[in-house]
Amino acid sequence: MMCAVCSATVERKLASLDGVNEAVVSLPSRTAMVDYDPDIISPEQMKAELTAIGYDMVIEADRSAEAIEQRHLVLLRRKVLFSWGFALLTMCISMGWLNVGSRDVANQTMLIIALANLVYCGRQFYVTAWQQARHLSAGMDTLVALSTCVSFLFSAFNTFWGDQVWGSRGIEWHTYFDASVMIISFVLTGRLLEEKAKHGTASAIRTLMGLAPKTARVVNFDGTIDEVPVSTLSKGDVIEVHAGQKIPVDGIVRDANKNNATQVGTGRAMSEDKEQQTPKLPSIDESMISGEPVPVEKHDGDRVYAGTIVKEGTLRFKAEAVGEQTVLANIIRMVQQSQNSKAPVQRTVDRVALIFVPAVMCISVLTFLVWSLVGGSSALPRAVLSAVSVLVIACPCAMGLATPTALMVGIGKAAQRNILIKDAAALELIHRVNALVIDKTGTLTVLEETKKGDEKQVSEESQLAGEVLKPHAREAVTLLHEAGVEVYMMSGDMEERARYWAEQTGIRHYQSRVMPQDKEDLVRRLQAEGRVVAMAGDGINDTQALAAADVSIAMGQGTDVAMDVAQMTLMGTDLRRIPEAIHLSRRTVGMIHQNLFWAFIYNVICIPLAAGLPCIFGLDFQITPIWASALMAFSSVSVVLNSLRLKFGDD
């Protein structure tokens, strides 16, 4: 897929197939999320239907999508080099820098070069355009195919019959082989730069995928250890991981003291320091999951997660979740789904894209007719060039890439900050939130008995409520207030406890002795007042309110039900992630608006210039096909590069 029209066409085709309930296609990641009935249709049948209209579908079980993308990049790079070689050679001949003989010989030489360029470098444009035309659709490839074919055929006609048709009437004629070659060169160059830039927008997924190791050390029944591929691990396998290594799958720690007693005791048996003789527990860096930078010591029975790193000691654990069942795999899947999901503004852009190319083709035909009628036969060359310029300069790619590239970068950056976004609509909307309903226990506070061995327990808090405030909770509430978000705390506790915790966090609005229905009622009451409401919770009793809220936020250590309902999940306990998400949403939406504005303005300004509109006002200025192709390529690349500013911006 090369433009928004392509992705919209593929999405519409998939959605129209019997057995497909829903299909969402992402242009930047070139992926499709399809909900289908396997009893009615198979992926192979979908692939056949897409092939018939000029597209291909990679079934992951059969081929590696990453390998295909790499091969595509190699071929694209090769075609770009060849095309620019053809373009420079054609330019040298047309400008007279390279003398190949008479004018006829020069034109015939350029015809051969241009034909070679069309057949080898531009072949895919014509194949795709033809297949789309057979199914009454059109895309960016259609515009490129039409413009290059028209300029090539018009030049070929002039090469053999120019003197007889135009020269005999006293009309000066030219060939435009250089234009047909340069158009393909610029378009291919733009696509190569796009591919490289889009590769950067998907870096979050590749980073997450690279967290899990490829091999694991399995402990056999006889105590021997074999290193095997992670893909061969099964539930129940005992795995050993040394300090500095990554944990391959999720599991439960076993023999934590035994595994490290030998290491700690070696050479220290005679030490008088009893504390040093005590075996040291293995510690793990779980910042990838929890967001906490301090390594966590692990006891027997504690859980460990794929992708986390053993910092000290040797760890042995029993595999509990492997393959697609690990927490890391679920995180990757959630990020992929969110990057493929569409924000409301993108659906509007997709509808515009479907009519954009036919509209441009109509403008091109109208441009040709107006120049021909006004200028007569002597204006025919200019009429052809103007029509070709209109076809080339129009760029649905920029509009199609404006929203999804910004969303992909924003969602990826959120994942790096331990904010998992399930639905792109949440990222687009959360910056408008002005009311946050938040559950107390498990979200703002944590019960004392779950804080094992914490020597920093406050005296008054535990005596009053048997719980402690989460780190940074008060700071998070302050940041939310500064962002214009009013916080409403809901608690099932008695009035005294609810008031105490509201005062501790600086929350002005709170309610005690609430039931699940009360939380939903508050969300709906605030919405009725015109507020945009977010709900943050962690338990089953929060799911009603989470489902009713405009933006739903679950805590990563909460229940699976809450995380399933929520559009956004905060990994770890740091509530400052909520104001961070609001800030990131504001920057992402701002970037989307910038991209759409410039993509729209580009087409509004450039299409009339290419058509020759300034000539009506007496200005002898017009964009030629060569410059049109350069501007079109630049517009697409600029949108992607602008989106990448999110990736390298402030945190």
Q: Which residues are catalytic?
A: 439
What is the CB neighbour count within 10 angstroms for residue 613? 15
DSSP string, 36-77: E-TTT--HHHHHHHHHHTT-----TTTS-HHHHHHHHHHHHH
- φ/ψ region of 256 (left if φ > 0, alpha if ψ in -120 to 50, else beta) reads alpha
* Burial class of residue 221 in the structure, from the number of CB atoms within 10 Å of its CB (0-12 exposed, 13-18 middle, 19+ buried): exposed
Which residues in 534-551 are b (16+ Cβ under 10 Å) and which e? Answer: bbbbbbebbbbbbebbbb
DSSP β-bridge partners for residue 20 = 36
Beta strands (DSSP E) in 362-423 are 419-421
Tokens representing 7 are: 């992705």
From the list 355, 348, 404, 351, the residue with the least C-alpha distance to 139 is 355
CA dist 58 to 139, 285, 579, Å? 21, 36, 39
What gap in Å lies between CA 436 and CA 425, rounded to an integer? Answer: 17
Collapsing DSSP to helix, strand or coil, 481 comes out as helix
Strands 250-253 and 467-469: unpaired
Per 3-state DSSP, the chain is made up of helix, strand and coil in percentages (nearest 5) of 60, 15, 30
What tokens appear for 2 in the block?
A: 């090369």
The SS3 of residue 3 is: coil
Give the SS3 label for residue 2: coil
Give the whole-angstrom CA distance, residue 61 versus residue 46.
15
Extract the tokens encoding 553: 């936020």
Q: Check if the beta carbon of residue 581 is closer than 8 Å to that of residue 419.
A: yes
Selection from 489, 488, 542, 496 nearest residue 515 by Cα: 542
Neighbours of 350 (CB within 10 A): 22
The CA-CA-CA angle for residues 337, 338, 340, to 5°, reads: 65
CB 418 within 8 A of CB 204: no
Residue 40, judged by CB atoms within 10 A of its CB (0-12, 13-18, 19+), counts as: exposed
Enumerate residues 6+ apart whose C-beta is below 8 A from 120.
79, 82
Cα-based distances in Å from 500 to 201, 486, 535: 45, 18, 21
Q: What is the DSSP letter of 246?
A: B
Structure tokens of 128?
A: 């795709």
Rounded to whole angstroms, the Cα distance separating 353 from 350 reads 5
Burial (CB count within 10 angstroms: exposed 0-12, middle 13-18, buried 19+), residue 552: buried
Three-class SS state of 529: coil
Whole-number Å distance between alpha carbons of 182 and 90: 9
Kindly report the backbone phi and psi dihedral angles of residue 125, in degrees, each rounded to the nearest multiple of 5, phi listed first.
-60, -45
